[in-house]
Amino acid sequence: MNKLRTIIFSCIAALMVLLFLPLAGTVQADNEAVRAPGAASGTVVNGPVFIIPVDQEIERGLQSFLERGFQEAANYGAVLIVLEIDTPGGRVDSAERIGTLVRDSKIPVVAYIKGNAASAGSYIALSADAIIMKPGSMIGAASLVDMNGKSVEDSKMVSYWKSKMIGAASLNGRDPEVAAGMMDVHLVVNRPELGVNKQAGEIIALSSNEALQAGYADRIAGTEQEAITWLGYSTDDIFRVEHTGAEKMSQFLTHPVVMTILLFVGIAGVFIELLVPGFGVPGIVGTLAFALYFFGNYVAGFAGAETLLLFILGLVMLILELFVPSFGILGILGSISLVAGVVRAAYSFTHALFSLGIAFSAAAVVIVIVAVVFKERGIWNRFILQDSLTREKGFVPVPEKLRLIGASGISVTPLRPAGTATFGGERIDVVTEGGFIEAQTAVSVVKVEGGRVVVKEAAK
């Protein structure tokens, strides 16, 4: 009987080992999945490691920069890409494309959060194969806000962004409820085992220690080199991708305020040169402003050659409208083409229209002031007859015969109503008040209007 019990207990123990052994292996695999092959055994993977900074607002310019960085890493045969993240967030659509770039990378990608991975920055970090945070850094606070910083309440947009955050968190087995709480202000999240207790009206933002406890950080490291070493990669060949001079200039030129100023200077300069020609400087400055506007947006990846073509075409049609009578058709088409080129070149349709509206209004005021001050040089003077028939220029006006008012004379010809009459032997062309007067009839002058002498039949 005792032997039978021993055999039964042995079988149960063996069965329990078989059941839990795979789970233990899975947990170990999950913990080591983010580390390099051989890191657990103490070996080090040699090869180039690329550090790419994510240290600006998330928009298409950053997307273009990261695409260049990933391509350079692939060309050099990099074994690891480190995204050095410190961003306040930005555009959701750009963050989605960057997240896709990170997830589709054939090179392992780790997010090293140096400062803040806020808003859309947290989505990019969650898309990486691992998250390592610097002490004092933060991840989360990913609620949707509009241009004015107000929370977006559109349920469809909120649900969409929540699903994207949950999907990114689930890639590496992170708790999806915490990711949802990072962006849904109305959600209640109570996960004491993760150190997360969120009430309605709050938003989840995790410090480095809180993220480590909640499973939203795999390690806390003071430097990128420490993070790379922990992952099992060599730090002998570290390359840092820097922004080129053109990209830095593009970041400045595509700032909303700078874009508005460039549009203002461009519109005012070009139209002042067109309407009040002869200066030269306004035209040159305006053209340069437009060139900088399109250059900045082109380098940032917002504009293509077609946007510049639209703008030039619109400008040409507006110039032709000044000289070719088209009943306004060229002006309308030119304005549409010009606005389309400016708007398509910008990263945001709304921002572009807003900037264009402010710039155009301000430029219109300046153009009117310049046109009034320099009205004698305006192009409209070419369409106005400037010559005057003055005595100084050799033109002799017809003298008024005021002396004839009240004078009496004889009609030489019939007056029907115009004809000729004599006054004191002087033949004068006259006209009646509308009636017919026969020849050789006594007449008297009623009034004189310039060279026009009005008569009537004299009283008998």
Q: Which residue has the tokens 């030489």?
A: 412
- Can you tell me the distance from the alpha carbon of 409 to that of 413, in angstroms, rounded to the nearest whole number? 12
Helices (H) and strands (E) in the chain, counts: 14, 15
Contact criterion met (CB below 8 Å) for 43 and 231: no
| Beta bridge partners of residue 87, listed in sequence order | 117
- Return phi, psi of residue 87, to 5°: -140, 145
Two tokens, residue 21: 């052994």
Two tokens, residue 285: 């400055």
Two tokens, residue 431: 């006209």
- Alpha helices by DSSP H, listed for 85-128, are 92-103, 120-127
Kind and range of the H or E run holding 54: strand 49-54
Chain Cα centroid distance, residue 9: 73
Contact criterion met (CB below 8 Å) for 182 and 176: no
Contact criterion met (CB below 8 Å) for 103 and 127: yes
User: How would you label 233-270 residue by residue, b for 16+ Cβ within 10 Å and e otherwise?
Assistant: bbeeebeebebeeebebbbebbebebbbbbbbbbbbbb
Angstrom CA distances, 258 to 26, 211, 245, 366, 436, stand at 53, 38, 17, 18, 79
Burial of 305 per CB tally in 10 Å (0-12, 13-18, 19+): exposed
Give the residue from 241, 235, 216 showing the smallest Cα distance to 36.
235
pTM of the shown model: 0.63
Angstrom CA distances, 36 to 41, 80, 246, 304, 442, stand at 10, 9, 35, 40, 127
| Beta bridge partners of residue 455, listed in sequence order | 432, 445
- Can you tell me the distance from the alpha carbon of 101 to that of 123, in angstroms, rounded to the nearest whole number? 12
How confident is the model at residue 347, as a pLDDT? 64
For the range 207-212, what are the long-range contacts, defined as Cβ-Cβ under 8 Å and sequence gap of 24 or more?
A: 207/136, 207/137, 207/138, 208/113, 208/133, 208/134, 208/135, 208/136, 208/137, 208/138, 211/131, 211/133, 211/139, 212/133
- Can you tell me the distance from the alpha carbon of 208 to that of 384, in angstroms, rounded to the nearest whole number? 75
Per-residue pLDDT tens digits of the chain, which is 460 residues long:
444 344 334 443 443 433 333 333 333 333 344 555 445 456 789 999 999 999 988 877 788 889 999 999 999 999 999 999 999 988 888 899 999 999 999 999 999 999 999 989 999 999 999 999 999 999 998 888 766 667 777 778 888 888 999 999 998 899 999 999 998 888 899 999 998 998 988 899 999 999 999 999 999 999 999 999 999 999 999 999 988 887 778 778 877 788 888 888 888 887 777 777 655 677 788 878 888 888 877 777 666 677 778 777 877 877 776 677 666 677 677 777 777 777 777 766 677 777 878 888 888 888 788 777 776 655 545 545 455 555 555 555 556 677 788 888 889 899 888 899 998 888 889 999 888 888 888 899 888 887 788 998 887 6
Contact criterion met (CB below 8 Å) for 115 and 156: no
Give the residue from 111, 123, 68 showing the smallest Cα distance to 250.
68
Two tokens, residue 271: 């139209």
Local structure of residue 218 (DSSP, 8 states): S
User: Directed axis angle between helix 281-299 and helix 245-253, to 10°?
Assistant: 110
How confident is the model at residue 5, as a pLDDT? 44
Q: What is the identity of the amino acid at 121? A: G
Q: What is the identity of the amino acid at 410? A: I
- Can you tell me the distance from the alpha carbon of 70 to that of 78, in angstroms, rounded to the nearest whole number? 9
The contacts of residue 166 (CB under 8 Å, 6+ apart) are 176, 179, 180
